[in-house]
Structure 1
Amino acid sequence: MSEALRTLQQRFLAGVTTDDADAEALIVDDPRVGATKRLGIYRNNYRASLTGVLADHFERLHAYLGDEQFDTIALAYLAAHPSTTRNLRYYGDMLPGFLTQHFPNDAELAEIAALDWALRHAFDAADAVPLDAERVGALGDGWIEAPLALHPSARLLPMHHNSAAIWSALSAAEPPPKVASLDCPVTVLVWRNGLQPQFRSLTAEEAETFAAIEAGANFAGVSARMIEVLGEAAAMETLAAWLGQWLADCVLVPAGQPLAVT
């Protein structure tokens, strides 16, 4: 591609993605449809397309806000964060942070958006062979010393409001509960089990344990910490229940395992 053509394309793109009027000089002007109107058509199509992408990526947030409010926010986000990727699957990754910055008094918006995005990520995240009871048995006692990791689809989301309950109600096409601050913040685990993205709230202890695993802890280290916190008997009972659920949920993988595209 010649440098002149690249410059021309960049000028036209700037005219479409912003309100740069200089791009009008690149558009054919005639009495029927002038350059200003032609460029406006391109801009409207661009904005409508990306607003639709955001509505799809943040389906529950869209349902929570309604068309008018969501479109207003989407257009503001688009102005602040034009698309820079050819794959629209990844457009919108900064929306939760954008909502945190611009709507600090409506913090549930960012949390609902973060849950929408994490579930979308979980659906097509890379795959890895999870630990299950059979694999743990095959590894023998040595498995407790091996570094662990969360499945590539997993995300830990802090929640300070009942945003997960709001999301669930919207997903079930039910009236969402009134937004409320939680007495104690919770962490929500989002992951994919098989082909199904899902999430659940964690206790403070389980959330701290998952954070340690995310940092590369092994089961021996996790056990030692839990014994310090709960005492040996209670820790062993808790860990046994957790491990059974983690293996059934397919949320643990050996650290360093090669990933595969789903």
Structure 2
Amino acid sequence: MRLAELQREFRAWLVEASPEAAARVAGLDHPGLAVYQNNYRAQLVGCLEVSYPKTRDRIGSEAFLNAAITHIDACPPHAWTLDAYAEGFDGTLEAIFPEHPDVSELAWIEHALATAFVAADATPLAAADLAALDWDHARLVLSPALRMREVTTNAERVWHDGGDAAPLAVPAGLVVWRQDYTSCLREVSLLELEALAELQCDGSFAALCDLLAERLGEEEGVAQAGAWLAEWIGSALIVGADVEIPR
């Protein structure tokens, strides 16, 4: 058996506990293989526990362990570092606890805050930098630490203050980013969430104004775009501004 084949069979045993793969791994008996598989699973459970301590405390150690095992069975490691393995655990929790969306939303917050903290550095844009900008062709750059999602519960309040989870009267958005050396979390309206997503994708301030004018009317939409722009700059969410050259 070639080395590459041996590696594939060994991985199949670790990930799937395939007895056929175990039988094809020459020179290793099943008890020996079981040691490796137990270590593999223990390492991944430990990774999730380290990545989601607050979520673990919230749902309890037994429920968390069961969720971790489900996640490990469905989602083998996909990157060279274990730091990346925690990504997507909120999706597993959403499937396991469909009647308690706060669980997956809290897990998303925990992971988003951690990843925002180690995101690439970027110098926030100062308000003075915008004075001479051509707003008709301006393209704004948002922080590489920015993470966003829609939520249906008061997960943001539960994260900050604890207490009982409850559904929101209307869905809202969560925004996570880093300001200086602090990861920040804020609940926003769905409209602001949509505006940030539009800006993150396109960067065009003119397109953002068009979106808000369509939703709110021209006068109120432009005023809201200006108010949010000032707030985003003050919060270090905007880290660059370029000018698109018209064609």
TM-score past 0.5 threshold: yes
**Which amino acid in structure 1 is aligned with residue 171 of structure 2?**
P
TM-score for both structures, normalised by structure 1: 0.80
* Alignment-derived partner of residue 229 in structure 2: 243
Call closer, same or farther: CA 1:222–1:4 in 2, change over 3 Å: closer
Match of 2:142 among 150, 154, 177: 150
Separation (CA, whole Å) in 2 of partners of 1:114 and 1:81:
17
What secondary structure sits across from 2:178 in the alignment? Answer: strand
| Per-residue deviation, residues 7-62 of structure 1 (Å, max 9, x unmatched) | 11222222223322342664767xxxxx4333222222111111111112223211
Same amino acid, percent of matched pairs: 29
Contact 2:142–2:239 (CA under 8 A) maintained in structure 1: yes
Alignment partners' CA distance in 1, 2:127 and 2:241 = 17
Once residues 130 and 144 of structure 1 are traced to their aligned partners in structure 2, the CA distance between those partners, rounded to angstroms, is: 22
Matched, 1:214 2:216: no
The verdict on how the C-alpha distance between 1:26 and 1:120 changes in structure 2, with shifts beyond 3 A counting, is same
Question: Counterpart of 2:143 in structure 1: which amino acid?
Answer: H
What is the TM-score when the length of structure 2 is the normalising length?
A: 0.84
Alignment partners' CA distance in 2, 1:52 and 1:206: 37
Between the two proteins, the alignment pairs up a number of residues equal to: 241
Amino acid at match of 1:183: A
CA drift at 1:216: 1.8
- Of the three residues 112, 117, 127, the one matched with 2:121 is 127
Q: What's the CA shift for 1:122?
A: 1.0
Q: CA separation of 1:161/1:55 partners in 2, compared to 1, >3 Å: closer, same or farther?
A: same
Gaps of 5+ in 2: none
Q: CA RMSD in A?
A: 2.7
Aligned equivalent of 2:10: 12
| Contact 1:161-1:179 at 8 Å conserved across structures | yes
What is the alpha-carbon distance in structure 2 between the residues aligned to residue 213 and residue 183 of structure 1?
27
- Which whole-Å CA distance do the structure 1 matches of 2:92 and 2:196 have between them? 27
2:63 is aligned to 69
